Amino acid sequence: MSELAARPSRAPEAPTRKHSTRQATRAAARRRSAPLSTGCAAVLARCTRPLADDARAFFSTALSDAVAAREGARFACRRIVSEWLRVSAMLVRPVLDEKVTGYGPARFRYAAELAVSLAAMLEPGAAPTVHTTVSSAPSVDVDTLKRTVAQALRNLGIEARAGLHPNASGDKVSHSFDELAAAVRRAQATVPASVLTDAGITASVLDALDDASDAAITSHTSSLEARAVRRSTSRREQALGGRLLHELKLLRAAARAAHPGDASVPVVKAVARSRRAKPAAKPAPVDPAAPR
């Protein structure tokens, strides 16, 4: 019999406390590295009991959109989802087993749906794309166009302005091109065509001014639309975050109330912190009689 076969088999060692702590730490690290949407979808998959439409509508009326957005703005939405995942990992089994009076499986599924929706919005690349209209006008140096046309008009004795702040809004930029185009049309009415051509003010220059004005308006409109979409998306994220935060508070409170009667229901403490900075501590009063 070989030495390997003759060696007595050892009974499996019981996991030590240090080993269990290491495993828990690794599991927590895996949860942190996984996308939020994956964790939320996994929790929702465990909620096999369907949620009736009237129950979903009732739960959603707990907070108005304005109040939910205001509450959600106090915390980072990603932090709210992470905190809900942490708490739900400890309470999902007692809730689904109906051990948490006041917070049943239907309401837990509603919260899981909120978490899935919010996590999907927070994923990279989930921001809505705003389709902008690209002008078909030829690419020209608008600053050079304004300067040269304005100088040519001034050389002909016609007042024209070309100066504009670099960060001026699109409507102001368009207005400046319209003013130059109007000055060109005034020049066409009073200055001989040969003189205008000699100064470089031709019909193509007038067309370029009109095209530049249209392009400025299009760019300004697209910018406003993109800003409105970002504002709407941010407000929707905050509203979802506020509703999920409300459900998180109710779930913790219900678990805290159920714990004395059933020790299998854990008490979960809150660890989320508001994004608002804490006020600076006031300095201790100085005793004038104390030695210095």
pLDDT (0 to 100) of residue 139: 43
Question: Given this model, what pLDDT does residue 230 score?
Answer: 74
pTM check: above 0.85: no
Distance CA 156, CA 196 (A): 8
Separation CA 88–CA 119 (nearest Å): 15
Mean pLDDT by 10 residues, the chain (292 residues): 44 51 54 74 93 93 90 90 93 93 94 94 63 42 76 79 48 67 82 85 81 76 73 86 94 92 83 50 60 54
Compute CA distances 103 → 16, 45, 53, 75, 106, whole Å.
36, 18, 18, 23, 8
Q: What is the pLDDT of residue 175?
A: 66
* Close Cβ partners of 8 (under 8 Å, ≥ 6 residues apart): none
Task: Please report the pLDDT score of residue 137 as a whole number.
Answer: 39
Residue ranges of the domains in the chain?
Answer: 33-129+232-258, 142-230
Q: Within its chain, how far is the Cα of 220 from the centroid?
A: 23
d(CA 239, CA 245): 10
